[in-house]
Amino acid sequence: MAPKLLKANSKAESSIASKTKDETVAWPKLQPIIPSTSLELTEILPDQIFTISNLWSTKLCKQYVSFLSSLPLMTTPGRPKKGEAVRVNDRFQIDDPGFADRLWNETALQELVTGNASGMSKEQQQAVWGGLVVGLNPNIRVYRYTKGQFFGQHYDDSNIVTIGTTRGHTTWTLLLYLTSPATGCTGGQTVFYPEADEPKKGTKTKIQPQPITVELEVGMALLHKHGSDCLLHEGLEVTSGEKWIIRSDLVVI
């Protein structure tokens, strides 16, 4: 049976720690950065999941974890509203078009997603990303999971987003992992549950594909399709250390 639809309780996001429009975050410089020529977009599951190892250097991740620790993170309540995913983590959110733009332009992300470095033609790119990618969602979310914290099974929604004067919508979730077992964080893997194919003619049994477990890696970006084609997924419980993530989304027109 298909699992009940669980949303990543986007409405609850308004109650998490956030900065008002006038406030800004003094994000550290995005340096040192690794050039796109040394990186690649790796397909984990066709049309659903890609990763980019070392999008952020280890040094940059370390600087950011120490900086992000100074932000006023708030723990989300463990008891969700009806139909929402259970999650417990410490979160911070800001609407910051400037930082979203830097994350897109000052790292190898743009070149790997929409440039020659993607290894895809322009037509292939538009088919995969669900349109012409114009940048990242200015809604930047920072998550910290400590021992015992997790993000239960859910689907991510697509949202309408304006970048500058361009109105678009989000199609893929971007997760940037800043910690891993190498920094003392165990558990916390992101797990995806691909849907079973329709049963073959004359048979009734659907073959349930194996879940896909993405291990944490310092500086790795993960992209996964969201909205109506989103796979059920979760962030497993952290068993030691701290898992830090920066989340945004690809915006297309």
Virtual torsion, Cα 210, 224, 26, 178, nearest 10 deg: 30
Q: From residue 1 to residue 20, what is the string marking binding to Fe ion with x (rule CB under 5 A)?
A: -------x------------
- In whole angstroms, the minimum distance from the beta carbon of 52 to ligand AKG comes to 16
Closest distance of CB 104 from ligand AKG, Å: 18
* Residue closer to Fe ion, measured from CB, 156 or 237: 156
Which positions touch ligand AKG (CB under 6 A)?
A: 8, 143, 151, 156, 173, 175, 190, 233, 235, 245, 247
Nearest by Cα to 143 from 175, 112, 101, 169: 175
Closest approach, Cβ 222 to ligand AKG, in A, equals: 8
Among 223, 211, 212, 226, smallest CA distance to 247 is for 223
Q: Which residue is nearest to Fe ion (CB)?
A: 156
Residue 99, number of CB atoms within 10 A of its CB:
20
Q: Is 249 in the site for Fe ion (CB under 5 A)?
A: no
Of the pair 117, 247, the CB lying nearest ligand AKG is at 247
Out of 156, 237, 242, 249, the residue judged to bind Fe ion by CB under 5 A: 156
Residue 112's binding partner out of ligand AKG, Fe ion, none, with CB under 5 to 8 Å set by partner kind: none
Q: How far is the CB of 216 from ligand AKG (least distance, A)?
A: 8
Compute how many other C-beta atoms are within 10 angstroms of the C-beta atom of residue 219. 24
Position 237 contacts Fe ion (CB under 5 A) = no
Query: Of 8 and 238, which has the nearer Cβ to Fe ion?
Result: 8
CA dihedral 160, 194, 91, 30 (to 10 degrees): -80
Closest by alpha carbon to 112, among 133, 137, 140, 139?
Answer: 133
234 binds Fe ion (CB under 5 A): no
Residue 41 in contact with residue 118, Cβ under 8 Å? Answer: yes
Q: Which amino acid is at 161?
A: V
Per partner kind, with CB cut-offs from 5 to 8 A, the member of Fe ion, ligand AKG, none near residue 9 is none
Length of the chain in terms of residues written = 253
